[in-house]
Amino acid sequence: MRFNEKELVFLSRQPSERAAELGMRGPKKGDVVKRRVVKLIVNFLFYFRTDEDEPIGALLLEQCRVEREDDQVFSIVFLDEAERKYLFECDSQEQCVEWIDAIVKASYEFMRKNLIYYRTEIHRLTGKDPLEQYGISDETRFQVNSGLPPLPPAAT
């Protein structure tokens, strides 16, 4: 599958939400733990060799599950191939917990759920759709019932 690699590499150089050197093990049998610089940027997890500027790879963090494997270890699995685990070894429990939290919140789908929740709550408490003022109430991505008609216009 083709993808715009240059642009993705460019993205990997942007300010990250979180970055650290972790032990990383790939999902293939026989993969071993290697020290990698791991950077979380929007919904991508980039990983670099410790002394290189260009990432070796990127993981799109949609449709995945993050789990605590051990005190200081977490894993990422993608729902379409749940047997394949990417393992990450942290330096402390705290760091492990923080990474898990950050990755869970890094998906576009997670943000969409939050947005829908806030939108619905504000509408419930005030009778107004907060997205109307921005002219984006009809956008599919903001719909409460994924694809169903948008919220009725606010009563005056």
Number of residues that bind another protein (CB under 8 A): 50
How far apart CA 7 and CA 150 sit, in angstroms, is 34
Window 5-24: contact mask with another protein (x via CB under 8 A): xxxxxxx--x----------
Q: Binding residue for another protein (CB under 8 A) from 24, 37, 40, 58?
A: 58
DSSP 106-133: TSHHHHHHHHHHHHHHHHHHHSS-TTGG
CA distance 40 to 88: 13
Residues 71-110: x where in contact with another protein by CB under 8 A, - otherwise, as a string = -------xxxx--------------------------xx-
- Give bridge partners of residue 85 from the DSSP assignment: 77
Q: Which residue has the tokens 């599958």?
A: 1
- β-strand 34-41 against 44-49: which pairing, if any? antiparallel
Q: Which of residues 110-139 bind another protein (CB under 8 A)?
A: 111-112, 114-115, 118-119, 121-122, 125-126, 130-131, 134, 136, 139
CA gap 44, 99 in Å, rounded:
13
CB of 73 to another protein, least distance (A): 20
> Under the rule (CB under 8 A), what is the footprint of another protein?
1-11, 14, 42-43, 54-60, 62-64, 78-81, 108-109, 111-112, 114-115, 118-119, 121-122, 125-126, 130-131, 134, 136, 139-142, 146-147
